[in-house]
Amino acid sequence: MPVKTCGQCHGQEADDVTASVHGQAILKGKGEAATCIDCHAEHQIVGLRNPAASFQTAEACSKCHVSERINSRFGMPNDRVKTFFESYHGLAATGGSTTAANCASCHGYHKILRSSDPDSMIHPTHLMETCGKCHPGASASFVGGKIHVDANHSEEIGMVVNRWVKKIYIIMIVLTVVMLGLHNGVAWWRKVVARRRANGEMVMRMDRGQRMQHFVLMSSFVVLAVTGFALKFPNTWFAHLMGSEEIRRWTHRIAGLVLIAGGIYHICYVIFTATGRKLVGDLWPRWRDARDVVTNVNHLAFGKPKARFGRFGYPEKIEYWAVVRGTVVMGVTGVAIWCKIDVTRWLPRWIVEVAITIHYYEAILACLAIIIWHFYHVMFDPDVYPMNWAWLDGKVSKKWHDEEHPLEAETEAERESPDLPGKES
C-alpha cells in the first residue's frame, strides 16, 4: 500500500494520512480513496506545500472530488470543485496567484478530517484560527460565511438577498443599455440620413446583381470566419455561443459551399454577361496602377498631388484579385480537409496537414486584410464615414465620385458632350 511504502521515510505524514478520511477509507477497503500517489504522482513526485503550487493543489484534489461516482459512494456533495473555482480563492488561484488559499489551506494536507471532527481545521471551533492565517483578525462573523455555496440555489437569507440584488442589477443594466442605445442609435441614424441628403446628386456605383453577389460573399465570409475560429479555439466564449462542435462544423461547411457557389456564379457572370465582362476589364491590372501606387506614396509621404483613378483604382483592384485568390485557396484547402479520406487515396497524408495549415493562416490573412484594408476604404475613411452606402443601394455621392474617380467622370462627361473640341458634331 502506498501509505506504508511512503511511511518508511515520511513517518509523520503517513500517520496523518492514516488518521484522515482518506486513510480511514483505505482501511475499510474502499479502493477509490486517495493515496499518496494520487496527490503527489508516482515517479515525478510533486510537492504541494510550495506557495507557487496553489492552483496545482486545487487541481490535484479536483481529480477525485469532481467525480460524481466517487462523491456518491462517499456521500459527498457534487458541487465542491465547482463552487471552489467560482469563489474568490478559486478565481485567484486560476489567475496564477501564489498567495490565494487552496483546498489544503483550509482542509489540511495530510490529516484531512470531516468538518464535524473536533480536530478538523474547518470545525467551527477552529475556523477563526484557520481563516486567520490569511486574514489576521478574522472575527466569528467573518468566518460564518460559507465557501462551498451554490449562490443560485441556497436558501440562506444572505444568498436570497444576493440573488435579488443580482436580478435587480441585471434588469437595470438591460433597461439602461436599451434606452441609451435606442436614443443614440436614432440620433446617429438621423444625422447619417441628413448628411447623405446633403451630398446632393447621387451616382450609381453597383447594380442590384453586383450588390447581391457582394451580400453573398460578405455573409458567407463572416460565418466562415466566426465558425472557423470557433472550431480552432473550442473553449472560447463565442464558440460556446454557437452550440455543439457538430453545429459549428456543419455551419462552417454550409457557409463554405455558399462561398464556392457564389464564386462559380461570379465566374459565369463575368464570362457570359456584358456587364460582368466590363467589370473584369475595368478591374484588370495595368501598368498605370503601378505608377498610381508611386504617385500616392509621394502624396501620402510628401503631400504631392494624389493619383487620379478611373472606375477602379489600385485599392479596389488589389482587393478584388485578393478575394479571387483567397476564395480559390480557401475553397481547395477546405474541400481537401473535408474530404480527407478521398484525398489520401491519391495523395500522401501530409497534403491534408499542409492544407490545414494553409486554410488556418489564409483565414487570418483574409480577416486582417478585411479589417485593415477593406474596412478603412468603406467605413473608416473620413470621406465616406460611417460607410460607403453603395453595398446597400448602389449609390455614392457625385461629389465623392468625381473626387475619387475623376477619370471615369471625365470619360462619362465626354460621352455626354459630343460638341467638345475634337469631337464631331
Per-residue pLDDT at 151: 66
100 lies in some domain: yes
Of the pLDDT bands very low, low, confident and very high (cuts 50, 70, 90), residue 413 is: low
Q: State mean pLDDT over 32-49.
A: 76
User: Do both 217 and 101 map to the same domain?
Assistant: no
Asked if residue 54 has pLDDT above 80, the reply is no
Share of the chain above pLDDT 70, in %: 93
The predicted structure's pLDDT at residue 329: 97
Asked whether residue 311 is domain-assigned, the answer is yes
In a domain, 424, yes or no: no
For the segment 255-282, the average pLDDT, to the nearest whole number, is 96
Residues 146, 267 within the same domain: no
Share of the chain above pLDDT 90, in %: 51
What's the pLDDT score for residue 424?
A: 45
Q: Is 122 in the same domain as 235?
A: no
Over residues 55-75, the mean pLDDT reads 80
Three-state secondary structure readout of the chain: CHHHHHHCCCHHHHHHHHHCHHHHHHHCCCCCCCCHHHHHCCCCCCCCCCHHHHHHHHHHHHHHHCCHHHHHHHCCCCCHHHHHHHCHHHHHHHCCCCCCCCHHHHHCCCCCCCCCCCCCCCCCCCHHHHHHCCCCCCCCCHHHCCCCCCCCCCCCHHHHHHHHHHHHHHHHHHHHHHHHHHHHHHHHHHHHHHHHHHCCCEEECCCHHHHHHHHHHHHHHHHHHHHHHHHHCCCCHHHHHCCCHHHHHHHHHHHHHHHHHHHHHHHHHHHHCHHHHHHHHHHCCCHHHHHHHHHHHHHHHHCCCCCCCCCCCHHHHHHHHHHHHHHHHHHHHHHHHHCHHHHCCCCCCHHHHHHHHHHHHHHHHHHHHHHHHHHHHHHHCCCCCCCCCHHHHCEEEHHHHHHHCHHHHHHHHHHHCCCCCCCCC
Domain of residue 166: give its range. Answer: 151-198
Identify the pLDDT of residue 132. Answer: 87
Whether 123 contacts 116, CB under 8 Å: yes
Map 381-413 to HEC letters: CCCCCCCCCHHHHCEEEHHHHHHHCHHHHHHHH
With cell 448628411, the residue in question is 195
Which residues, 6 or more positions from 220, have their beta carbon under 8 angstroms from its beta carbon?
Answer: 255, 256, 258, 259, 262
Average pLDDT over residues 379-392: 91
pTM listed for this prediction: 0.68
Whether residue 174 lies inside any domain: the answer is yes
Are 61 and 124 part of one and the same domain? yes
Q: Is the pLDDT of residue 311 over 90?
A: yes
Tens digit of pLDDT for each residue in 331-372?
Answer: 999 999 999 999 999 999 999 999 999 999 999 999 999 999
Single residue among 116, 150, 184 that ends a domain in this structure: 150
Confidence band for 58, pLDDT divided at 50, 70 and 90: confident
pLDDT at 416: 57
Residue 93's pLDDT is: 79
pLDDT of residue 335: 96
Is 62 inside any structural domain? yes
Top pLDDT among 314 and 95 is at 314
Residue 292, pLDDT > 70, answer yes
Neighbours of 194 (CB within 10 A): 9
Residue 191 counted as domain residue = yes
> Is residue 40 assigned to a domain?
yes
pLDDT number for residue 46:
66
**Does residue 140 surpass a pLDDT of 90?**
no
Number of domains forming the structure of the chain = 3
Q: Judge whether 421 lies within some domain.
A: no
Verify that 193 and 248 share a domain, yes or no.
no
Same domain, residue pair 383 and 292: yes
pLDDT of the residue at 336: 95
Confidence class for position 425, pLDDT limits 50, 70, 90: very low
φ, ψ of residue 184 to 5 degrees: the values are: -70, -30
Q: Are residues 132 and 162 in the same domain?
A: no
Give whole-number Cα distances, 46 to 41, 138, 286, 304, in Å.
Answer: 7, 32, 67, 68
Q: Looking at the structure, tell me whether residues 260 and 303 fall in a common domain.
A: yes
**Mean pLDDT score, 387-399:** 92
238 with 339, same domain: the answer is: yes
The whole-angstrom separation of Cα 177 and Cα 3 is 59
Where a domain ends, among 163, 198, 233? 198
Q: How confident is the model at residue 422 (pLDDT cuts 50, 70, 90)?
A: very low
Q: Considering the chain, what is the average pLDDT of its residues? A: 88
* Whether 33 and 180 share a structural domain: no
- Cα–Cα dist 364/247, whole Å: 22
Mean per-residue pLDDT, 147-162: 75
- pLDDT exceeds cutoff 90 at 271: yes
Q: What is the pLDDT of residues 180-225, one digit of tens each?
A: 999 999 999 999 889 888 888 899 999 999 999 999 999 999 999 9
pLDDT band at 53 (very low <50, low <70, confident <90, very high): low
- Choose from 12-21, 56-65, 325-334 the range with maximum mean pLDDT: 325-334
- 126 with 177, same domain? no
Q: Is the predicted pLDDT of residue 55 greater than 90, yes or no?
A: no
| Each residue's pLDDT tens digit, 235-262 | 888 888 888 999 999 999 999 999 999 9
Residues 216 and 142 in one domain: no
